[in-house]
Copies of this chain bind each other. A is one copy, B any other.
Amino acid sequence: MSTSWLNEVKWDEHGLVPVIAQDAASGEVLMFAWMNRDALERTAQGGEAIYWSRSRRKLWHKGEESGHTQKVLEMRIDCDNDVILIKIEQTGGIACHTGRRSCFYQRYDSESWQEVDPVLKDPKEIYK
């Protein structure tokens, strides 16, 4: 296994890289998270998104509790090699822990953030 592609990533001072998860079919931005080197390597190997949870300080296989795993169809890196974009198929059509399709459900309007997208499934049903 070559790991030179992992060395090309410019990890931040915490050893992390920001990751944007985009729906491969619709183009909708579903969520934003972080990966460390191990998470990125496992994501590439396994084909499902594995992040680094900064709050829990451990690897986080997205969907391990909710079942809402993310199949990774494509990975890209930006011009500075310090941000990753993954194009995914979102199992269950729900990426957000609030039960919404996307985490970006609050829209700026008239100097406030308004919730504009519906909850598709009660989080109590997702995380039971």
Contacts and interface: CB of A to CB of B under 8 A. Distances in A.
Contact of A1 (B27, B104, B111): B111
Contacts of A96: 79
Interface string A1-18: 111110010000000001
B29 A28 contact: no
A65 interface: no
Number of copies of this kind of chain in the complex: 2
A112 B79 contact: no
Nearest to A111: B2
A59 interface: no
Nearest to A41: B111
Interface string A32-44: 1000000000001
B32 A20 contact: yes
Contacts of A107: 74-76
A104 B111 CA distance: 31
Given A4-B112, A27-B27, A78-B104, 4 more contacts: A20-B29, A29-B29, A31-B78, A79-B97
